[in-house]
Homo-oligomer: A and B are copies of this chain.
């Protein structure tokens, strides 16, 4: 069910297919929902493919992001974290960050449609995408 043919996608865009690119993509795919940062991705790729260099990982992540296969999120913790872009997603989904335990949940989006309309009316600003993070207490941490 991985379904995504990276080879094909790369070729279509005029890029070459390499094993390194596949390895990086695999790690991000396999860790869906983990919000790995670049270093973590580098280390995971390295476990299986110790010859890969940091630079390649960074370059590949940038390439995959540019191609729209993954995207970077910034949780303001000093790391750039990456997620797979799901085909169904129009907009990006949102995140719930627990300020007690640091856990990150994802929450489906399309809650903001009416707000974007309001923004267009008030500010004449045409929203294309948004990034929303909610900070608070997850279920577990509320019961302490």
Contacts and interface: CB of A to CB of B under 8 A. Distances in A.
Nearest to A141: B126
How big is chain A's contact interface, by range? Answer: 20 to 34
Q: Is the interface of A mostly helix, strand, loop or mixed?
A: strand
A74 interface: yes
Nearest to A140: B124
A137 B133 contact: no
Interface string A28-65: 00000000000000000000000000000000000000
Contact of A130 (B98, B124, B135): B135
A76 B4 CA distance: 28
B131 A132 contact: yes
Contacts of A105: 123, 125
